[in-house]
Structure 1
């Protein structure tokens, strides 16, 4: 997997920004998923994009300059498939006007972080490299954290393998439980 997996990359990278968003530990932030980077507010992601949503963070020294490539990433939320209701996490996001609500853990130490929202579309995942991974990063400054925990961290790229059961799966029809891609 490529370095673009960290915070998106060519051919359609987000625009660099000097802006850092202040976030209080324990509060919610919202990632907004649209069909394209230039879509309007009513153009949410495609309903055919069934799959999980996750969020990761990485503590950094200078958020506007950090590319996100490499170690230090830790997962703060994940939602997958509810086998009782047949609802995917992406369905929930779509039904919420494209909004993915993410709680920033209150146990983190204060400082600058990259916040990485991710959505995986599994409609083509029945073959290796058929899953579509979408991600974007926000530059945030966390305050009010307890600093009580230091999470285990991982590298991006490197958190997934192309044959991970959460990335290599035929969801038509979806049978049984879904395994969200594991951190390796």
Structure 2
């Protein structure tokens, strides 16, 4: 169980612990920030009904598109400050515990897509009660990186990839959850299947979802329900 002291510490260090997804790796090759729609700041989105929940608040456009193949492993990378990839610093600190979630959206043009198309979930890590490990702990233990495999049967085309961490240190009250997300522009080759059904943002989450409105410091947390749909098969 996270202590009351930890909760107080989380509130006191909230600003310094803000963070953002900034870089991408494709099949082990560092793409740096070449295809990310970089957030304007490392501050979180707090409203699930705002259009900011899609790709963050008016992110800077990217001219680049990262090339990948269906079935590749990609790694999204988060750090607290722009351009700081030092492994000596936590990816997201300040007791900002919560899940990490990755979505894809098939689009006609990754450089101009607004994110209004459907999104399907391809990876997630919520909470492992046996080890008391959150998805954000995985980021901190791996120099900000979280690995996810692109489905092997994806049809070729342009996609947006949405990486998200939800900080739950203040989520015991409505509107207290903090959403940190960035969108990456991809062109995926090699697949021959169909695009999975998905959800829309905003709309996929409710402020009262059990994985969004939750006091993670009450009792011995034995399970956690990750927001959004199931990961596609």
- Give the alignment's TM-score, normalised by structure 1: 0.91
Query: For 2:82 and 2:51, how far apart are their aligned partners in 1?
Result: 20
Moved over 4 A (4+): none
| Structure 1 partner of 2:192 | 146
8 Å CA contact retained: 1:164, 1:182? no
8 Å CA contact retained: 1:51, 1:80? yes
Give how far 1:47 is off. 5.0
Query: For 1:50 and 1:21, how far apart are their aligned partners in 2?
Result: 29
| Structure 2 partner of 1:181 | 227
Match of 1:135 among 181, 184, 188: 181
Matched, 1:27 2:90: no
CA RMSD after TM alignment: 1.6
Matched, 1:116 2:165: no
Match of 1:89 among 135, 146, 149: 135
Query: For 1:37 and 1:6, how far apart are their aligned partners in 2?
Result: 20
Unaligned runs of 5+ in 2: 1-48
Give how far 1:105 is off. 0.7
| Structure 1 partner of 2:111 | 64
CA deviation map 1:85-137 (0-9, x unaligned):
11111101110001011211112101000001111000010001101001101
Bigger RCO of structures 1 and 2 (CA < 8 A, at least 6 apart): 1
Unaligned runs of 5+ in 1: none
